[in-house]
Structures are given as C-alpha cells and as structure tokens.
Amino acid sequence: MKNQFEPIRISDLDIICPICGKPDWCSVSESGEFAFCPRTEEGSIGQFGAWGYIHRIKKNDKTSKYKKVSKSNHKINWEVLQKFYIDNYSEKFGDNFENKLEIGWDGKAYTFPVYDEKRKITGIQRIFKDRTKLFIKGSKDGIFWPIGLQFNDYLLICEGASDTLTALNLGFEAVGRLSCNNGERIICKLLKEKQQCRPIIIADSDEVGIKGAKKLAIKLLDINPASILIPPMKDLRKWDENGLTKEKLLLNIKIIEKYREGNFLND
C-alpha cells in the first residue's frame, strides 16, 4: 500500500479531475488508484484532510495510467519568484494602487502567493483571465495573507483571492482560503495565536461553500469561535458588484455575530 495516498496535483500532470472534470485544485494518487476532489463528496470513500474527498479511480479510466511524476529535491525560492512576478505586474499594469495581496503577472496569468501560519510563502496560485486557477508546481496549501494585516478587530475569512480582495477594498481585515475545504490547519494555528481578533467566515452561498464554512467554524470552537456570514448572492464579490457597502456588511456581521450563525439582511 506504499504511496497509495501520495497526492499529485492534476495541474502538474496537465489532466482534468476524473471526478469533477475541473483542471485545478484536485489531485490524484501517485499509484493512480485514487483521486482527491475537494468539490465532490458524493461517491467518496472518505476524506484526506485539505486534499479533499477520496474517490477510487475506475480501472478503465485513462487517468489511472498517467506517467508518474519524478520528484525533485530542488527547492523553489518563492520570495524571489513572487517579487519577479510583482515587478512584471507593475511594468505591465502600473503600480497606482495598494497591492496588499502582492498580485503579480507571469505573462499569462495573475499570480497570488499563499502563506502558512508564520507568513512564509508555501506556493503561488495562477489565475487566468477566464478565471481558470492553477498552481505553480511544488505549491502547498496556504492562505492569502495581505501585507500589513491587523488582528485587532474583525477578521474576515474569505474563500478565494477575489473575495479576499473585495473584503480588503471594502476596508476590512481579511485572509482567504484557496477553497472552502483548504487552509483549516493554517487558520486554526493562526487564530490560536491571535485571540484578540473576531473571526467571521464569509461562505460562498452554495451548499459546498456553506458546508465548508461550518466545518471550519466547528474546528475553531475551542480556539477562537467564529461566526458565519452567507451572502445573498454567489459570493462576496458578486454582492459587492450589486451595491454592497462597508456599512451594510458591518451591519450584517454584527447581526450574525450576535446569533453566532445566521443569514443576511437584504436592506
């Protein structure tokens, strides 16, 4: 059974997930027997931490016969690489805004660094203009952690880079998870050290997003209890595009914090 649960990201293999059909976030085992899909619980045989739900790959699935990726001992200098991407971004798009998320450009996609609980870069996510998301090979789980983040009051825990950026632009302190099933360990370790802040989980309004938010909230119960806010639209970015203001979001936060878990006010 050795290495049967050794995950390799599908983006490193240039294949789609055999379970959900997406080209990012998911992984397959080095043995070719299993897929780890954070999106699809139905039909799974369990869960493998942040990697997602475990699915057996059918023997006739061509994905089970992919060539194994050779492992390299080469260590990527993420800080140098990300600085290069940030410089590219400034050269192409200008630097006339506060780049709190350290957005870069690699020539084809926007780049976003992700961090561990000590704010050490663990990888870089690439987001293309069509919103396809891939990871640079060698990336590990991490959270979006903006420059100058303060932990003195509300801390919004968002799903995805765009929602994190939206929260920051609205004037809130925020971090972001790669998906609703990623970053739990890092968030828990971080908030254990930052007891002075009040965590608010901003869930995507679909079933998977709400379930992932509740799962994180349960893990935080004995660490730094969090409230869950479910937007009236798909996510925080869509809500912002339809007239969300800092005052309206703050009002909703105060309401759901009072009741620990709740929904939104429309007006």
- The domain segmentation of the chain, as residue ranges, is 7-65, 73-140, 143-267
**CB distance 19 to 58 below 8 Å:** no
The residue ranking higher by pLDDT, 109 or 62, is 109
pLDDT band at 59 (very low <50, low <70, confident <90, very high): low
At residue 266, the pLDDT reads 41
At residue 199, the pLDDT reads 96
Here the tokens at position 151 are 């932990």
- pLDDT tens-digit series, residues 20-49: 887 777 888 877 788 899 889 999 999 887
The residue ranking higher by pLDDT, 234 or 266, is 234
pTM of the model: 0.74
Phi/psi for 215 (5° steps) reads -65, -45
Q: Are strands 110-115 and 104-105 parallel, antiparallel or unpaired?
A: antiparallel
Give yes or no for residue 181 having a pLDDT over 80: yes
At residue 75, the pLDDT reads 66
Greatest pairwise CA separation for the chain in angstroms: 56
| Cα–Cα distance, 224 to 97 (Å, whole number) | 33
Tell me what the mean pLDDT of segment 80-94 comes to. 90
Region of 102 on the Ramachandran plot (φ > 0 left; ψ -120 to 50 alpha; else beta): left
CATH code of domain 143-267 = 3.40.1360.10
User: Whats the size of the chain, residue-wise?
Assistant: 267
At residue 70, the pLDDT reads 39
* Percent of the chain at pLDDT exceeding 70: 88
